Amino acid sequence: MTSLHTLLKQKPWTAPKRRIRSRLFTISIHCGFQYGYYILLSLLLFIATCEAYHHPIQFAIPANKVVKEIPKKDRDFAFINPKDTSTYIYQSEEPYYKDYQRSYFGITCKKAGWDCMRHYEILANGCIPYFIDLDQCHPDTMAFLPKELILEAMHLPGVSYKTLSIDHEQFDHARYQEIVTALLEHTRRYLTTEKMAQYLLDTMNYSGRKPILFLSYDTSPDYLRCLMLTGLKQILGDQVVDFPQIPHIYSNYPYDIKNLS
């Protein structure tokens, strides 16, 4: 799986060098633990009385990582397999992506959680994820992933996960081509960083007139946080203020991004 620093390597913006002043609401609470506890409790009680809706978000991939057309296939399954770390042989993004581009299927699965950058890298390279146990994933998890199409492709005649091969005499090549084309188009329309960020803005009924304060707990790499922030920056630029600032997403980051973990 490509590291986060590689995905964010091409950045069209730089971090602001001056202090940004905007109409952002800032709350500073200077009090002891006891008063802070009651304030927090009051806020929670207030939130509990509000009508709230949960909207799903998930990982995404920068649009410049999505291939323009379905590449020619000469391999049944991509070499890299998350179930076998000995297959983690690629030291750079290009050969890693080429492996998916030349393959009909790329194996992926749930690891620390259901969402994973690998799913989007497979799709963006004109390949179909062979997603182990995808049928057990809750509908609201990775809600924008076209699960039914992926499952249909996995169950096409001749596809064998056990042998990691395809019997091409049984395989429905025409249907595969229809599915992989639909998945690539779906990726372009819904699964890029800009599209996911635009969905967030639309869901919030954001008018585009006010700055956005993007709050983080810390600045260490986090796929969901960094990819959403990337999409917002792609759309709104410096109108999005990240605090604390996530330094490694900017082109003027002074350190070697390969050392990020």
In this structure, are residues 85 and 78 in contact, taking their beta carbons and an 8 Å threshold?
Answer: no
State if pTM tops 0.85: no
Residue 77, beta-bridge partner list: 105
Q: Is 198 among the domain residues?
A: yes
Helix and strand element counts for the chain (H, E):
8, 7
Number of domains in the chain: 2
Of 165, 191, 217, the position where a domain reaches its end is 191
Give me the pLDDT at residue 257, please.
77
How far apart CA 181 and CA 195 sit, in angstroms, is 19
Residue-level pLDDT at 26: 37
Q: What is the pLDDT of residue 110?
A: 96
User: One-letter amino acid identity for 72?
Assistant: K
Q: At which of 162, 191, 220 does a domain end?
A: 191
Domain boundary, last residue among 175, 191, 207: 191
In-domain check, residue 67: yes
With a cut of 50, list the residues of the chain below it in pLDDT: 5, 8, 10-33
On whether both 86 and 187 belong to a single domain, the answer is yes
Q: Is residue 229 part of a domain?
A: yes
Specify the pLDDT at position 260: 80
Place of tokens 């730089």: 14
Among the residues of 102-213, which ranges form H helices? Answer: 117-124, 147-154, 173-190, 193-203
- The single residue listed with the structure tokens 């633990």 is 33
The residue range of the domain holding 208 is 193-261
Asked if residue 80 and residue 173 are part of one domain, the reply reads: yes
- Domain assignment of residue 31, yes or no: no
Model confidence pLDDT, tens digit, residues 118-143: 999 999 999 999 999 999 999 999 99
**Contact between 87 and 57 (Cβ < 8 Å):** no
201, 222: one domain:
yes
